[in-house]
């Protein structure tokens, strides 16, 4: 019985130490970045997405800054961001079509490749705007009240249930999420 109590106490103390060792430092959250070669690096992330289209990854006590042009994606806590042309886009829903919300503005941000400095043009739109990304064709389409009908017609390829749900988005573009989910689930129906 004493051995059982001793083992229980040891297990609980190890669990406590492991939990404390994984606490995020102030200003950082648990997360990971996916590099453009699909290498995934986990650690703690400081979100500078809105400030300068970057994140800072802390791994083994060392900080490294990644701009949107340097990575394919970032995950901060439970929020996933895709990086396209230097900009960060919050993933609202994912599938054949991905519904995104722009989170940064990388236009005119300098980036260094070797000794060369380039200026990224970024993507159209402004932070807060919604987009549909067609994964197959790798096309990013800005969705606004002005472009909604054209984007819906082109993206949903005549799939009536998704088009019907998209009609509700006329007043609130965020409601397009339901239409994108409907379109992405069509093959499982």
Query: Taken in order 64, 55, 73, 189, is the CA torsion positive or negative?
Result: positive
CA 183 to chain centre: 20
Q: Is residue 120 part of a domain?
A: yes
Looking at residue 23, the DSSP 8-state letter turns out to be: P
Q: Is residue 35 part of a domain?
A: yes
pLDDT digits (tens, 9 = 90+) for 104-160: 998 766 666 667 766 666 789 999 999 999 999 999 999 998 999 999 999 998 899
How many distinct structural domains can be found in the chain? Answer: 1
Tell me if the pTM is above 0.85: no
Q: Is residue 90 part of a domain?
A: yes
pLDDT digits (tens, 9 = 90+) for 33-71: 999 999 999 999 999 999 999 999 999 999 999 999 999
């Amino acid at each position: 019985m004493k051995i059982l109590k001793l083992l229980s106490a040891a297990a609980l103390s190890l669990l406590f130490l492991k939990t404390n060792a994984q606490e995020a430092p102030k200003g950082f959250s648990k997360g990971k970045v996916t590099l453009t070669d699909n290498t995934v690096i986990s650690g703690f992330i400081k979100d500078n997405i809105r400030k300068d289209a970057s994140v800072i990854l802390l791994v083994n006590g060392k900080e490294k800054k990644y701009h949107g042009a340097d990575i394919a994606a970032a995950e901060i806590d439970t929020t996933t961001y895709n990086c396209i042309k230097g900009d960060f886009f919050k993933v609202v829903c994912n599938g054949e079509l991905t519904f995104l919300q722009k989170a940064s503005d990388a236009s005119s941000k300098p980036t260094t490749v070797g000794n060369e400095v380039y200026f990224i043009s970024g993507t159209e739109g402004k932070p807060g705007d919604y987009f549909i990304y067609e994964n197959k064709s790798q096309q990013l389409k800005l969705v606004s009240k002005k472009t909604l009908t054209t984007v819906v017609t082109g993206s949903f390829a005549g799939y009536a249930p998704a088009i019907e749900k998209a009609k509700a988005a006329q007043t609130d573009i965020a409601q397009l999420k339901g239409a994108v989910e409907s379109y992405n689930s069509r093959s499982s129906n």
